[in-house]
Structure formats: structure tokens, C-alpha cells
Chain A
Amino acid sequence: MRILLVEDEKKLADEISSYLKTEGYLSDYSPTFASASENIAINPYDFILLDLGLPDGDGLDLIDEIKENQDHAIIIILTARSEISDRVGGLEKGADDYLPKPFSLLELKARMQAIVRRKSGWNKEEISIGSFMLDLGNKTVSHSGNPISLTKKEFNVLHFLLIHKNRVINRYQLAEHLWGDHIEDDYQSNFIDVHIKNIRKKLGEYAKVDWLETIRGIGYKIQA
């Protein structure tokens, strides 16, 4: 997949580009409105990650050009602006999602995958881990056809870990994914341990869950 990153802050752009590269994406970088406009006119993109506050223009105005030149491209707005008018304005113009800064790169990837799935109509997509099957459309887990009762949060934890399998996901990243940023201290990150414990207990009744590793003092990792 080819991605255009429109971001005026070079250090942040470098980090995002580097991450996207490790995830196997091809990415181009535009630090200005003019450069982005040029890239949009020349190259076809699957994803456009768009910062709104550009030095030579408003990123929102680029959405019209994107829609005109490459209607199929998925647009995710990345911005420090959080006024509701920006969010509504961006989505109304045709952006697919809105990720306010500061965001986790893992969250960005999860959102990208969710949009791809949604846009492709893959509501029945299933992912397997060990002998278990996750139905992403119905948000259920089953083992050999037997449904396993997980809560919404437990399913989300398992899904997030699966999206980033073979990588250590720390408790803060998981907590941010589950609850956002508005519970003010790190207390809820301890709740992640409880969710993991429950997942292990519920899935453990059907088969071993040794693929779900605990990284002591850090977080968890699905080894697959």
C-alpha cells in the first residue's frame, strides 16, 4: 500500500514514515500544501494521512483535491486541532477518520486496518490465533465452532494485540486504545492485567493460550 504523509513537523513525519516503513507500507512525505498538492496530482495513493495546520494552507482544502484526483484514497486527518468544527468539517468533506494528536502509531495502524476492512465490506473477516477464531464483524471469539463469551473490552484487547502480533504492546498503549486519554492517571492501565487474566481464563478452558505472553513490568505480546 502506498501512503502520502502530509505533515509540516519534520521530526514527527520522520517517526511516522519510519513506522510505516517497518509495517511494510510505501510512504511519500509532503511538508507543505503545495508539495502535497503536487504529489496528489502525480501519484496514486491508498492512504493519505493529512495534517490540517500546514504552513502554506489549510489541510482541509486538500480534501477537495484528493476527492477530485483520487476518489478511492482513504483519508485520515492527523491534527492538533480538536475543535468539533474541524472534525465535522473534515468528515463532511470526505475524510474517513480523524486522529487527534498526540496519537499512538499503533492506534494509527489499528484505525487504518479498520477503515480498510470497512471500505472493503469485509464484515465477515475472521482472524485465527492458535486454535481460536476472531470474528471481527460480530466481535466474537470461538473455538471449534463453540462461542466463547468475552466482554467488549476483552475482545478489543485481544484484537489490538492481534493487530500488532509479535510485538510487545505495553499497558499504556492498551489502556489508551481502550479508554482514550480522559481518565487522568495511570490507574486504569492496571485494569489491563485483569482483562488479560480473564481472557486467559476464558480461552484456557478450550485450549492452551501460551501464544499470549506476559512481558514482565511492560505489557503483553501475541507470539504467532
Chain B
Amino acid sequence: MQLSSKMLLYNLLAKGLILLVFLMLGPFFLKYFAVKNTDNRLIEKREEVLEIIRKQGLDNFFAEEDYSSGFGSYNILKEEYILLERISEPFLVDTIYNEDRIIEEESVTYRVCSFVFSFEEEYFLLEIGRSLETIKDIEKIMFRILYITFFIFLVLTFFLDSAFGKWLVRPFKQIVENKLLHIREPQQFQYSRVDTSTDEFRLLDESLSDMMKRIQKAFNQEREFISHASHELKTPLSILQSKVEGFFNQDDLSQDQMEKLMDMQSTVQKMKKMVNSLLLISKVNNAQFLKTDTIDLGGLLLELCEEWKSMADERNIELVLPKNEPYQFSATNESLCTMMIQNALVNALKYTPDGGKISILGEKTAKGYQIRVVDNGNGISREMMDQIKEGTVFLKDASKDKSGFGLQLIYKIGLFLNVGVQIDTNPKGTSLIFDFIN
């Protein structure tokens, strides 16, 4: 799961949970404070009534000191009432409670403040009530408002968090995509800083650049060593080759001497090829080739097939070119591209048994062009494939007691020319697939 999705999910859950708790507890708090407020109001009213009685007596409530009938009064909307009646037995009451009353065939819940007091040696019960229906109505309205707010808040927070999360991790994505995912060789690394105000991402960016500088340095040292060693070997090899060729030029050589010279020539040739291939890998790694050519890949396949057909015929190998659609591949290096495809074809010829079949297909794809060199040889061993995947330069073919770097050359050239190289192999054959993306 993506970091931004995780953050979004966490935010939604955390905020949702907090809001849910708030929604659940909200009504209780609301009711508690509303009732507490009502109680305070009732007590204030009670004190006001008692103050009136103290100052003015009970005349405002009872006519001609007739206490037997009691006094009761509701306001117009029946929201409040006051009740005053004499009690014969004195008992101590000072409480507030809820009570349902039937008024005009309608049950109304009141918060009632009940209080017993004495006045002129008589005891009176004073009840002041306030309807709780208003509180219930407010409760319902508040509930609705809270639910709607909760929903709107979650929706808004989802979109805002989603946008913010994406904006926040955008530098991270840029670092991963531009500096890690698409970097297959140190020289491809971009040292330009990713635009971010987040310290952690800036630190990550700088750390990666520092690390890549160290890798690049080690890589350059290795490459320079290969390059210098190859150059240093070239002059003595030239001398050796010239001397062998000089001997070959002599007219009075016996067959035996010629065969010995041939062995020497073979050794010199192998050394030359090794040095040149090492240097080639070094130069390809160092991007020391121009990529200014445009080649017709279909035409190249046709040319290579014609060139190598006689070799295939010699070993009864069926070399076919069922498809070679024309395609112009630009900004490339013709000799390297030819070398890459030719090496694939020569490899197929080497490992396909006599009487086998090699197919070469070149066709347009949605992204560009694909070339497949398919043979029905014994396939490439797992050990060899492991070496290829690990990027071993000198591939060791234990079954043939040989080592070489033909396949690595194909890979390195493919990398330099931005051509995808893929090997599918099994005991029934091998497919080398080249994806050219223009």
C-alpha cells in the first residue's frame, strides 16, 4: 500500500473515531449541561419567589390568607409553572427531579424544583417546573447538525488529506523514480536536487547523491583501470601479432612450423578480442559512443540473415526470417546495434544443434519495435542465467569449459542504446528479445 494511501486511511480512521466518540458522548454532555442550566434557572426562580414571599407575604399567591386551595400557575406555552401549597405535616424537601405531567391530554416532561419552607408558622411546598421539551428539541437539532457536520467533515478531510498526501510524497516519488528506479548505471544518475521543503526528503536526496558520488568514483576507478590496462596491453599485442605475421610471410615454412604459428596466432587473437571486448564494455559503460545514426531495423535483419544463411545451411540449420517489418530507429549507434543483434544470431548458431531451427522476427509494437531471435537449441543453463542476472562480466560456461562475455556485451550495448534485452530460455530453446523504443 502506498504511503499516501496509508496516511489517508490513518487520518480518516483517526478522525472518524474521534468524531464518533464525540458524537456518542455529545448528547450526554449536551443533556447534562442543559439540565444543569435549567436547574440553575429553577433555583434562581425559587430564590426570586422566596424573596417576594419574604418581602410581600403570600398575598400575591393566596386570597385572604386562604391557604387551603393552593396556588398554581402555568405560562401561556406551558413551558413553566409554579405551584405553592400548604402542607400539614412538615417534612424537609429540597430537590430537583423530572416529572411527567398531563396537560390538556398531552404528556409533558418537566424539570421540577421542589422546596419546603415555613412562613408564619405554616409549612408550604413550592414547586417550580420547567418543560424539558425544548431541551429535547435542541437535542434533536444538535444531533442532526453533528451528523451532517461529521459526514461533511469526513468527505472534506478525505479530499484534502488525499491531495495533501499526494503533494507531500511527491518529492519522494520523484526521488524514487528519477534517482532509483530508472538508474541502471551510475552515469545515468541525475544530481539535480529534487524541489522539496521537507527536511527528511531533502536529506534522503542528498544522501542518495552522496552515495552515488562514492559509487561513481569507485565505478570510474574500475573503468579507468580496465581502460588503461587494455591500452597498455595493446602495444605489446601489436608487436606479438606483427611478429607472428612476419613469420607467416616467410616462404620456407614447413607445415609443422605453420601449425605452431597458427597456435600462436590463435592465442594472440584471443587476447586481442578479450582486450578489445573489455575496452568496449568500458567505453559502452562510459557512454563513449555517439548515438547519431538512424537505422532500418528490418533491413538490418535481412542483411544479417543473408550474411549468416550460408553458415546455417552448412549445418542444416533452418534460418528463417518470417517477419521483418521496416522500422527506422533513430538516435542510435549503427555499429553497436549491428554488433548486438549479430552477437545474438551468432550465439543462436553456436548453440543450435545441426538440423535445428532459428527464427528471426522483427515487428512493430505499440511502443516501437521488437526483434526476437528464437532457436530450438538446448537453452541456457540455470548457472549461466544466474551469472547473467548478477551482471557477471566473464560468464563461465561450465558445460563447455569456456568463458566469455558475449551476452554481457549484448546487455551492456542494450543498456547504452536504450534497448530492452530479455532472455527466455528452457531446455527446448532460447528467445532473445530486443525491445526498441523510439
* Complex interface: chain B residues within 8 A of A170 (CB): 248, 262, 265
Q: Contact at A187–B265, with CB atoms within 8 Å? A: no
Q: Contact at B406–A183, with CB atoms within 8 Å? A: yes
Quick check: is B178 within 8 A (CB to CB) of the other chain? no
When A15-B243, A82-B283 are in contact, do A168 and B248 touch as well, CB less than 8 Å?
yes
* Complex interface: chain A residues within 8 A of B350 (CB): 187
Q: Contact at A184–B274, with CB atoms within 8 Å? A: yes
* Complex interface: chain A residues within 8 A of B276 (CB): 181-182
Distance in angstroms between the alpha carbons of A75 and B272 in the assembled complex: 24
Distance in angstroms between the alpha carbons of A41 and B380 in the assembled complex: 60
Q: Contact at B342–A183, with CB atoms within 8 Å? A: yes
Interface string of A76-103 (1 = CB under 8 A from B): 0000111110000000000000001111
* Complex interface: chain B residues within 8 A of A153 (CB): 307
Quick check: is B310 within 8 A (CB to CB) of the other chain? yes
Shortest distance from the beta carbon of B419 to any chain A beta carbon, whole Å = 17
Q: Contact at B231–A81, with CB atoms within 8 Å? A: yes
Q: How many chain A residues touch B (Cβ–Cβ < 8 Å)? A: 46
Nearest residue in A to B336 (C-beta to C-beta)? A182
* Complex interface: chain B residues within 8 A of A100 (CB): 234
Shortest distance from the beta carbon of B279 to any chain A beta carbon, whole Å = 6
Quick check: is A198 within 8 A (CB to CB) of the other chain? yes
Q: How many A-B residue pairs have CB under 8 A?
A: 127
Instruction: Out of B231, B268, B269, name the residue touching A80 (CB < 8 Å).
Output: B231
Distance in angstroms between the alpha carbons of A127 and B131 in the assembled complex: 126
When A82-B283, A183-B343 are in contact, do A12 and B245 touch as well, CB less than 8 Å?
no
Distance in angstroms between the alpha carbons of A86 and B262 in the assembled complex: 33
Distance in angstroms between the alpha carbons of A186 and B245 in the assembled complex: 18
Instruction: Out of B243, B270, B280, name the residue touching A185 (CB < 8 Å).
Output: B270
* Complex interface: chain A residues within 8 A of B272 (CB): 102, 181
* Complex interface: chain A residues within 8 A of B322 (CB): none
Q: Contact at B246–A218, with CB atoms within 8 Å? A: no
Q: Contact at B238–A102, with CB atoms within 8 Å? A: yes
Q: Contact at B235–A101, with CB atoms within 8 Å? A: yes
Q: Contact at A194–B241, with CB atoms within 8 Å? A: no
Interface string of B322-352 (1 = CB under 8 A from A): 0000000000000000010011001000100
Q: Contact at A218–B262, with CB atoms within 8 Å? A: yes
When A12-B238, A170-B262, A184-B274 are in contact, do A22 and B243 touch as well, CB less than 8 Å?
no
Q: Contact at B235–A9, with CB atoms within 8 Å? A: yes
Q: Contact at B234–A172, with CB atoms within 8 Å? A: no
Q: Contact at A15–B235, with CB atoms within 8 Å? A: no
* Complex interface: chain B residues within 8 A of A122 (CB): none
Distance in angstroms between the alpha carbons of A15 and B314 in the assembled complex: 38
Within 8 A of A (CB), among B158-198: none
Distance in angstroms between the alpha carbons of A183 and B277 in the assembled complex: 8
Quick check: is B217 within 8 A (CB to CB) of the other chain? no
Tell me which of A184, A187, A188, A197 has the highest count of chain B C-beta atoms within 10 A of its own C-beta: A184
Within 8 A of A (CB), among B254-283: 255, 258-259, 262, 265-266, 268-270, 272-277, 279-280, 283
Interface string of A181-204 (1 = CB under 8 A from B): 111111110010011011000000
If A80-B234, A82-B283 are given as contacts, then 6 extra A-B residue pairs at C-beta distance below 8 Å, sorted by A number, are A80-B235, A101-B238, A176-B269, A182-B273, A184-B404, A188-B346
| Chain B residues close to A by CB (< 8 Å) | 231-232, 234-235, 237-243, 245-246, 248-249, 255, 258-259, 262, 265-266, 268-270, 272-277, 279-280, 283, 288-290, 306-307, 310-311, 314, 339, 342-343, 346, 350, 402, 404-406, 409
Lowest 8 A-B CB distances belong to which pairs? A15-B242, A80-B234, A102-B238, A102-B237, A181-B276, A101-B234, A184-B404, A101-B238
| Chain A residues close to B by CB (< 8 Å) | 9, 11-12, 15-16, 18-19, 22, 80-84, 100-106, 151-153, 167-168, 170, 172-173, 176, 181-188, 191, 194-195, 197-198, 215-218
Q: What are 7 sample pairs from A and B whose C-beta atoms fall under 8 A apart?
A: A19-B242, A80-B232, A101-B238, A170-B265, A183-B343, A185-B402, A217-B255
